[in-house]
């Protein structure tokens, strides 16, 4: 019986290690829309799903939204820095369940909406 419980414990450890966190990845998001989004499996047990925002100090009004896997040590932190001389502030909020950072992709629907807008503007300029 002791061997049975030992096998159950070892098997449980393997199953827990094999389950990796699934997160939504969004490398570029602006105005609430995620471009080129996909699902991502985090690499190790110390990572969490996150939603992040980066705001450039010069513009102030444009905020980029990013999502993916992040080392849990950075969760809840706000970082500042510069890229090519432009200052930025970024913050990260984390969660730890599969796809909890749920960003949806708008690749095809955005294209369809833009084409429809262009066609409707052209339609109004044609005379019958």
Considering the chain, what is the average pLDDT of its residues? Answer: 75
Residue 14 confidence (pLDDT) above 70: no
Q: Are 77 and 89 in contact (CB under 8 A)?
A: no
* Better-predicted residue by pLDDT, 65 or 31: 65
Residue 27 confidence (pLDDT) above 80: yes
Length of the chain: 128
CB atoms within 10 A of CB 66: 20
Q: Give the CA distances from residue 9 to residues 15, 16, 21, 104, 121, in Å, rounded to whole numbers and listed in that order.
A: 10, 11, 21, 38, 66
Q: Give the CA distances from residue 124 to residues 100, 110, 118, in Å, rounded to whole numbers and listed in that order.
A: 43, 21, 10
Classify the C-alpha dihedral 102-103-109-113 as positive or negative. positive
Q: What percent of the chain has pLDDT over 90?
A: 34
- Contacts of residue 127, Cβ cutoff 8 Å, sequence gap at least 6: none
* Better-predicted residue by pLDDT, 2 or 80: 80
* Tens digits of residue pLDDT in 84-113: 888 889 999 999 999 999 855 444 455 545
Q: Are 44 and 15 in contact (CB under 8 A)?
A: no
- The structure's pTM equals 0.61
Taking the domain 22-123, which CATH number applies? 2.10.60.10
């Amino acid at each position: 019986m002791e061997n049975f419980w030992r096998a159950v414990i070892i098997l449980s450890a393997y199953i827990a290690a094999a389950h990796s966190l699934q997160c939504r990845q969004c490398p570029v998001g602006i105005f609430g829309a995620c471009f080129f989004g996909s699902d991502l499996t985090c690499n190790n047990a110390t990572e969490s799903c996150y939603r992040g925002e980066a705001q450039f100090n010069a513009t102030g009004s444009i905020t980029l939204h990013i999502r993916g896997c992040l080392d849990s040590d950075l969760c809840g932190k706000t970082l500042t820095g510069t890229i090519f001389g432009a200052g930025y502030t970024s913050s990260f909020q984390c969660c730890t369940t599969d796809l909890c950072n749920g960003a949806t992709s708008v690749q095809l629907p955005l294209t369809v909406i833009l084409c429809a807008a262009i066609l409707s503007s052209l339609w109004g300029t044609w005379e019958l």
